[in-house]
Amino acid sequence: MQAGSSKARVLVVGGGMAGASVAKYLRLWGDSVDVTLVEREATYTSNIMSSLVLTGQRKLPSLTYRYDTLQRRYGVRLIVDNVVEIDPVAISIKLASGKRLAADRIILAPGIDFDPVPGLGESSRMPHAWQAGPQTTLLAQQLAALPAGGVVAITVPKMPYRCPPGPYERACLIADWLKERKPRAKLILIDANPDIAVEKENFRRAFNELYGGIIEYRNGVDIISVDPAQMTLATSSGLVRADVVNVIPQQRAAALVANTGLATDKRARFAPVDVLSYASSVAPKLHVIGDSCATTQPMAGQMANQQAKICADALARIFAGQEPDSAPVTNSACYSTITRSEAGWMTAVFQYDSASRVMKPAAASAAASQGWTRKNFEEMNTWFDALMADTFA
C-alpha cells in the first residue's frame, strides 16, 4: 500500500470475463481496495454465444456489455486506454497515452493472442471470428454469400485453446444452417488434435447422424500454410479448397503477458500461476487470470469468472493481513449448441490439490449430457444471462 493511504491499490488490465469479474468482486469483498480497470475498448462483446450470430439467431449488440454498473454501483474506476508496458518491479503500467500508473498489485486479464498462420498475413478473407466483433460479422456475411453447393472449411487448433467445444459446436450450428439454406453445401472440419477434444460422444453422434452428408471430419491434420487469394489450405494430409474458410489459429497468452516475461510454461505459451491467488510464478505481485494463465482448468468464460473470484478473495485476505483460502474450488460449465434449437452440456468441479499444487477435477464431478434437447437450449440462455449479470451487473 502507498504510505499514508488506508486503501490498497489494484490495477486490472483487461475488461473481459475475468477482468470485469475481478474488478467487481474486489470492490464487493475488499471495501478498502481502490480498483482501476484499464480496458482498450469502451464496451465488451461476449465470445460466448457469438457463433449464433453466424446463423442469424443473435445480433452482436445483444452480446455487448458496458462498464457503467461497475463504475456506478461498485466504484470501479475505468480508464479506456491501451497498456503498452508493465514494470513487475515497480508494480506499474504505462499507457499508450503516455501516462504511468502504480499500484500495490496488478491483475492481468488480457485474454489470448494468436500464432501467425503462414500465408494469412493481414488478409480478412479467412477470419477466425474467435474474438467476437468485426470478424464475426464478416464470417456471417461470407456464409450468407456461399454459392449453391459451396464448401465451408473450419480449422480446430491444438489444445489448449479458448472454449474447447467451440469449434465443434460452430461446425454443428453452421451445418444445421446449411441443411436449410444451402442444402447441397459441405463443411470440412480440419482438427489438429488426434480426436474430438471434448464431448466426444455427442459431437461424434452429431457428425455421423445429423450431419453425415454435410460434415466431413478430418482429425490429426495440421495446417501448414494458407493462400487467401486462392482460398486454399495446405495441410499435412493434402490441399483443401473452400469457398468460406474459418481459420482458428493456435493460441497463446496475450503479448502483454509474454512481453512482461510471465509466459514461462513448458512451451512458453501461457503464464504459470499459484492457483491459490493467481500470482505469477515469476512476479508474485502480478496476478494472471483468465485465458492467459497456465492451469489445469479449461480456458472458458465461466472459468475466467471463477478464477477472478478466487483472485479477488485472495487479495482481500492478503490486504487484511491473512493468507489466501487454502482449498479453493472452481466449477467449469458450458452448453454446446448441436442444432440451432438444441444443445448439450458439460460440467466439472475442480479442487485444489496441496501435494501437486494444482486444481484437479473432483472425483466423479465431470459430467455431460447424453444427447441434446430443446430444454437444454432454453437453459443455455438462462445460464448465459446469469453469468453475464454476475460479471457486469
Cell readout for 246 is 474459418
Shared-domain flag, residues 133 and 238: yes
Shared-domain flag, residues 192 and 296: no
84 lies in some domain = yes
220 lies in some domain = yes
CB 117, CB 222: distance < 8 Å: no
Give Cα separations from 360 to 152, 265, 295 (angstroms). 38, 18, 10
Q: Which domain holds residue 224?
A: 120-246
- pLDDT, one tens digit per residue, over 77-87 is 999 999 999 99
* Mean local confidence (pLDDT), 62-83: 98
Determine the pLDDT at residue 266.
82
CB 285, CB 262: distance < 8 Å: no
Number of domains in the chain: 2
Secondary-structure breakdown of the chain: helix, strand, coil percentages, each rounded to the nearest 5: 30, 30, 40
Determine the pLDDT at residue 365.
86
In the block, which residue shows the cell 457486469? 392
Q: Give the number of other Cβ atoms within 10 Å of residue 334's Cβ.
A: 26
Shared-domain flag, residues 13 and 86: yes
Determine the pLDDT at residue 5.
52
Q: 160: cis peptide before it, omega within 30°?
A: yes
Determine the pLDDT at residue 358.
97
Q: What is the pTM of this model?
A: 0.96
Shared-domain flag, residues 156 and 142: yes
Shared-domain flag, residues 136 and 241: yes
pLDDT, mean over the chain? 96
| 142 CB burial (10 A radius; 0-12, 13-18, 19+) | buried
Q: Give the number of other Cβ atoms within 10 Å of residue 87's Cβ.
A: 15
Question: What whole-number percentage of the chain has pLDDT above 90?
Answer: 95
142 lies in some domain = yes
CB 212, CB 179: distance < 8 Å: no
Shared-domain flag, residues 158 and 228: yes
Shared-domain flag, residues 17 and 60: yes
71 lies in some domain = yes
- pLDDT, one tens digit per residue, over 123-148 is 999 999 999 999 999 999 999 999 99
Domain end position, chosen among 323, 351, 371: 323
Please check the confidence at residue 6 and state whether its pLDDT lies above 80.
no
Shared-domain flag, residues 164 and 225: yes
Cell readout for 95 is 499507457
Nearest one of 348, 279, 40 to 271, comparing CA atoms? 279
- pLDDT, one tens digit per residue, over 258-283 is 999 999 988 889 999 999 999 999 99
For residue 136, what is the enclosing H or E element? helix 134-144
* Mean local confidence (pLDDT), 51-76: 98
CB 381, CB 57: distance < 8 Å: no
Q: Phi, psi at residue 239, to the nearest 5°?
A: -85, 135
CATH of the domain at 105: 3.50.50.60
